[in-house]
Chain A
């Protein structure tokens, strides 16, 4: 594997991990919402949005040079991390539907990636 592709792949990989933590913080922040619009400005939501912005920087750097058909589906690794964090941090159940549904989605994103070269 050439070093440039490896570099792109690690950047996109990092983006998927950082983005999945963004989602965890959005979930944490969502529990703090009240009727006041200012409740959106809580630390968890701000950190969540910051992680998303950070993730998009890694992603943009990663896809700048490299095969989109490989890198594009790698973003959906974020779905796997999010499934793990949901279980770990929020005690959400692993169910057959979640695994099966997610498996189909990953396969679908992989195909879309193959088609967009």
Chain B
């Protein structure tokens, strides 16, 4: 287990902290697109090899998840896990908004209140990390 030797709590500089936040933020957008693609892909899913390898939305969705994981790892290198990981919850916000726009899902009060509360929570976390 190799962590920093100098201090128990790593204190990255402001620039790398911002880079981590931007990476995780981008992860949430890509992750949402991946989820929508997989939902579309699963809607014409057949358990046959030929059908799976030609299922473009499904493959694109999985590939995006792969890229997402790499970006998350890069973000974690310079940032706190306990601060960066909950930001992933923004994915819920984008998925909900994209589902309204692209999948014609109906908005409702609970969903709207939920995404507003998540955005608020992420804002609180992000501010806490800046000080």
The interface of chain A, by Cβ under 8 A from chain B, is 23-24, 26-33, 40, 45, 49, 52, 76, 79, 82-83, 85-87, 90-93, 95-98, 100-116
Chain A nearest CB, measured from B22 CB (Å): 16
Q: A79-B86, A79-B89, A111-B110 are in contact. Are A26 and B69 (CB under 8 A)?
A: yes
| Chain B nearest Cβ from A18, distance in angstroms | 15
Query: What residues of chain B have their CB less than 8 Å away from a CB belonging to chain A?
Result: 1-3, 8-9, 69-70, 72-74, 76-77, 80-83, 85-86, 89, 92, 96, 108-125, 127-129
Contact status A112-B96, CB under 8 Å: yes
- What number of A-B contacts does a CB cutoff of 8 Å give? 134
Interface contact A91-B8, CB-CB below 8 Å: yes
CA distance A26 to B113 in the complex (A): 32
Q: A108-B115, A115-B111 are in contact. Are A101 and B2 (CB under 8 A)?
A: no
B39 to chain A, nearest CB (A): 12
Contacting pair A90 B3 (CB below 8 A): yes
The answer for the CA separation of A98 and B46 in the assembled complex, in Å, is: 43
Which 10 residue pairs of A and B lie closest in terms of their CB atoms, listed nearest first?
A97-B128, A104-B121, A111-B114, A115-B110, A108-B117, A108-B118, A101-B125, A115-B111, A112-B114, A86-B82
**CB pair A108 B92 closer than 8 Å:** yes
Known: A28-B1, A102-B86, A105-B89. A86 touches B121 (CB 8 A): no
A114 interface neighbour in B110, B121, B124, Cβ under 8 Å? B110
Task: Provide the residues of chain A in CB contact with B96, threshold 8 Å.
Answer: 112
Minimal Cβ-Cβ distance residue in A for B110: A115
Q: Is the CB of B85 within 8 A of A92?
A: no
Given contacts A30-B73, A103-B121, contact A108 B81 (CB under 8 A): no
CB-based nearest B residue for A93: B9
